[in-house]
Amino acid sequence: MKHDGVSASAVGQGGHHDERLDALLSITGRMDGYLYRCRNDQSYTMLYISDGIFTVSGYRPSDFIHNAVRDYVSAIHPDDLAAVYAAVDNALEARCNWNVDYRIVPRVGEPLWVREIGGGVWDEAGELEFLEGFVVDISDRKVVEDLNAQLLLDLKAANEELSVQKREIELAKQQSDHSANHDLLTDLPNRRAFHNELKSVIGRCAATGDAAGLLFIDLDRFKEVNDTLGHEAGDALLQRVSDKLRTILRSADFVARLGGDEFAFLFSGKPDQAREKAVRVAERVLERLRIKVPAPNGDIQVGCTVGVAIYPTEAADPDALVALADRLMYVGKKEGRGRLVTSDQLALERSGASGGQSSRRQRRIA
């Protein structure tokens, strides 16, 4: 059987007529592609290539047979040769088929994309004899594939941009939430955050049966620092105070700046330990906040006064707890500052105890 002037023996199938080969050649002749078989030699001598090569490239099949006019490699775009060689070499080494896309440079016109699926043919001794495969024109498909690939890249870029924007929005929200709930000068939680935390702690204690302790802290002689040294010195003092209060915090405790020189310390725990812990923490606050501030006419000895209130034994809700702690703190201010005041002192005040006796019953750090 002859096809384009080449006998069937040229494809290594023997000299007899083979109807299966006839059918294969007839089918491939109707496709936008071509079959080929070449030797495994230095120039890949072409033994057979079907008529479809003419449809795809404009070169006659006979130009390639035995590399009469040109070898097949000459029709491959030079920029794609390395990829083709690599795909073929890797497949042969693994004894599997290669599947590679590359461009054919036609006799006339622009390069067009083809896809080749091929494999090696080994003899009985395991020696590679031939390379053969099928090449199909994928130019139209390549346009769609490239468009899809570009769309995927654009989509990926858009998703990444959206992710960046989402992170920026989340960061901006976090920063906004932080600003809304933190004091700008000290970065401690502010009054708003304190009241939210207080409601949360009281609600949790009401459910678990725990107690909550609240310390209202007001600096002593802060106004003197401001008036003598200026607001910058006052701000620096507030920052220093905030840092010292942070050193007292446990992970579950909460400290906030309520405004001006007022701070609040909130904690929760077992009911039988709440009063003892509150007094212990208040004493530590009194000690830590004894700060000497250098001034032209002598050091200003800053300290604080602390009001201590306990939920639920002394106050039944958040508002009552705040009111009690605030009142106790002002009792301490009235009685001479630099001390902690509990509800015991308020009870003494109500019962008409003398000022001297009340003062002796208050905790004071000299």
Cβ atoms of 123 and 17 closer than 8 Å: no
- Residue 261 annotated in active site: yes
Cβ burial, residue 93 (10 Å; 0-12/13-18/19+): exposed
d(C-alpha 9, C-alpha 16), whole Å: 8
d(C-alpha 325, C-alpha 341), whole Å: 9
Q: Which tokens in the block code for residue 296?
A: 């032209």
Active-site annotation holder among 183, 210, 261, 326: 261
d(C-alpha 274, C-alpha 280), whole Å: 10
> Do you know the residue count of the chain?
366
CA of residue 301 relative to chain centroid, distance: 48
d(C-alpha 170, C-alpha 179), whole Å: 14
Type of residue found at 92: L
Residues serving a catalytic function are: 261
